[in-house]
Amino acid sequence: MTAPDAPFTQPLQDAAPVVSVVMGSDSDWPVMRQAAEALRSLDVPVEVGVVSAHRMPHEMTAFGASAHERGIRVIVAGAGGAAHLPGMLAAVTPLPVIGVPVKLKSLDGLDSLLSIVQMPSGVPVATVSVDGATNAGLLAARILAAGDSDEAARLRDALTAHAADLNAQAQAKGA
Ligand code: RP5
């Protein structure tokens, strides 16, 4: 897995990451960075990288098959066009995979959406909306918030506070 190239460099390799945010190309980064930012706003450590199902198939398989052994608990995967990355990762990992359809110039993202959402039975991918990377990050946090650990409880509080912020913003707009 490689990090997104400049100009998209940010220190987005946290210590002991629990969520991998991956994408098929550097060109997906303007969308996919929103997933990483949502997770980081909740103090969830992330790693970010490019791993293409079509251009780097062997690296993609190795990454997906070993992610859980490195402490990763959720994979957020974004791709556009013939967007096979989330599904191919779901085929080789036991971890939950959240797919983000990235909109390209043609077809308004419908190609990306259908490529990700229409998975065969037995190989699940949780698909968010076209360019819905923020929700992908928040959904990853909600998955981590399930359970009895102190970290899960902390995340539930953080997500509740986030929802209260959204509510306050909506009220302020309506006022
Ligand atoms: C997909 O092809 C990538 O996820 C990206 O959305 C799309 C175009 O990639 P580039 O040609 O911009 O590298 O695999």
| Mutation choice for ligand 1 from 8, 27, 84, 89, CB with most ligand atoms inside 8 A | 27
Predicted pLDDT of residue 9: 47
Contacts 24+ apart (CB under 8 A), 123-127: 123/87, 123/90, 123/91, 124/90, 124/96, 124/97, 125/86, 125/87, 125/90, 125/97, 125/98, 125/99, 126/96, 126/97, 126/98, 126/99, 127/86, 127/98, 127/99, 127/101
Residue 80 CA to ligand 1 centre (angstroms): 6
Domains and CATH numbers, the chain: 19-161 (3.40.50.1970)
Q: Ligand 1 within 6 A of 17 CB?
A: no
Q: Which ligand 1 atom sits nearest the alpha carbon of residue 78?
A: 4
- State pLDDT tens for residues 37-89: 999 999 999 999 999 999 999 999 999 999 999 999 999 999 999 999 999 99
Predicted pLDDT of residue 14: 73
Q: Ligand 1 within 6 A of 86 CB?
A: no
The predicted model scores a pTM of: 0.93
Q: What is the mean pLDDT of the chain?
A: 93
Q: Ligand 1 within 6 A of 131 CB?
A: no
